[in-house]
């Protein structure tokens, strides 16, 4: 039982990080029909921004802010303007190919220009263990969980309680109608890209102390984000959150209780089952199929 609680907490922590990545992923899909195959690399990269800033002498908190800011400029603004905008007119598939190439590009760039070796990365809180109901829980897991929950709550408030957020939602649901109502649709789409960049940067700060900063990190994380988004429902923010949490908990529990060799396989089997039985995800709305 103790080990179950431990696994559950660390699973929730990982799942919360997956959820952040998956939310960004589904936001991009909702507003611009961008399927970002480089989302995993988007999480890998900010850690290297932060390490570079720290090498230049900045303290961790400043480096983290610089990392988030750089991420907003490069992975938000430049990604939208340089890669996505010229491709949108060709439809979904060419952009998919382009982001596959981008993921390769970012991975190679991190390897060639920073290092091919795994780099240690500072943790948010000193790593000690707490005893909760007889189970040993690491403070790191709790800190990750806390930051992720705060981020998700902030995002929820932004999307549902502010004028800006409602405009973004309107843009996602029906761009034509949103434009008629006087919402600057292009700017709202840009904002979702910036929002995605902030989310991946936060996810990067949370996950890198566990994984170490390595150029191949994106492969696993990107996959987790797709899986979470699809399992939960591609077109719903809360679907992506649910998917991320399910994935994180399941990953940890199945590795211990079923088979550690096939831990990677269970989420995939769930994915295939979900796609066959409920193609629009657990919480998603069915999208009209375009001819």
Binding site for another protein (CB under 8 A): 35, 83, 86-87, 90, 92-98, 100-102, 104-105, 108-109, 112, 219, 223, 226-227, 230, 261-262, 264-265, 268-269, 271-272, 275-276, 279, 289, 291
Q: Which is nearer to another protein, 111 or 238 (CB)?
A: 111
- Least distance (Å) from another protein to the CB of residue 21? 15
Q: Which is nearer to another protein, 136 or 272 (CB)?
A: 272
- Least distance (Å) from another protein to the CB of residue 73? 19
- Least distance (Å) from another protein to the CB of residue 255? 13
Angle at 263 between CA 261 and CA 267, to 5 degrees: 150
Contacts 24+ apart (CB under 8 A), 108-117: 108/215, 110/41, 110/44, 110/45, 110/48, 110/215, 111/215, 114/48, 114/51, 114/52, 114/215, 115/215, 116/215, 117/214
Strands annotated E in the chain: 129-132, 135-138
Q: Which is nearer to another protein, 42 or 226 (CB)?
A: 226
Q: Which is nearer to another protein, 70 or 110 (CB)?
A: 110
Q: Which is nearer to another protein, 5 or 88 (CB)?
A: 88
Residues 6 or more apart in contact with residue 102 via CB below 8 angstroms: 37, 38, 41, 79, 83
Dihedral sign for Cα atoms in the order 136, 138, 144, 146: positive
Do you know the residue count of the chain? 291
Cα–Cα dist 33/6, whole Å = 38
* Contact by Cβ (8 Å): 71, 201: yes
Cα–Cα dist 140/162, whole Å = 32
- Least distance (Å) from another protein to the CB of residue 54? 25
Q: Which is nearer to another protein, 211 or 266 (CB)?
A: 266
- Least distance (Å) from another protein to the CB of residue 87? 6
* Contact by Cβ (8 Å): 239, 26: yes
Strand 129-132 with 135-138, pairing: antiparallel
- Least distance (Å) from another protein to the CB of residue 190? 19
Cα–Cα dist 213/95, whole Å = 28
Q: Which is nearer to another protein, 209 or 267 (CB)?
A: 267
- Least distance (Å) from another protein to the CB of residue 211? 18
């Amino acid at each position: 039982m103790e080990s179950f609680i431990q696994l559950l907490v660390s699973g929730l922590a990982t799942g919360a990080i997956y959820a952040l990545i998956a939310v960004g992923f589904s936001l991009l899909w909702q507003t611009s029909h961008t399927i970002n195959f480089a989302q995993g690399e988007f999480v890998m990269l900010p850690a290297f921004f932060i390490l570079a800033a720290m090498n230049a002498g900045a303290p961790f908190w400043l480096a983290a802010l610089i990392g988030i800011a750089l991420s907003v400029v490069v992975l938000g603004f430049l990604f939208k303007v340089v890669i996505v905008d010229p491709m949108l007119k060709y439809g979904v598939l060419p952009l998919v190919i382009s982001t596959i190439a981008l993921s390769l590009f970012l991975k190679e760039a991190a390897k060639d220009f920073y290092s091919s070796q795994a780099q240690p990365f500072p943790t948010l809180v000193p790593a000690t263990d707490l005893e909760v109901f007889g189970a040993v829980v690491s403070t790191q897991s709790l800190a990750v969980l806390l930051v992720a929950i705060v981020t998700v709550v902030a995002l929820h408030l932004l999307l549902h309680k502010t004028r800006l957020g409602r405009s973004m939602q309107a843009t996602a649901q029906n761009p034509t109608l949103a434009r008629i109502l006087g919402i600057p649709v292009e700017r709202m789409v840009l904002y979702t890209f910036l929002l995605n960049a902030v989310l991946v940067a936060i996810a990067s700060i949370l996950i890198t102390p566990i994984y170490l900063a390595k150029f191949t990190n994106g492969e696993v994380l990107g996959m987790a984000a797709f899986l979470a988004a699809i399992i939960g429902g591609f077109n719903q923010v809360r679907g992506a959150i649910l998917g991320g949490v399910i994935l994180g908990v399941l990953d940890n529990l199945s590795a211990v209780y079923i088979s550690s060799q096939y831990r990677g396989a269970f989420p995939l089997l769930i994915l295939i089952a979900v796609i066959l039985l409920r193609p629009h995800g657990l919480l998603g709305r069915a999208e009209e199929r375009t001819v």
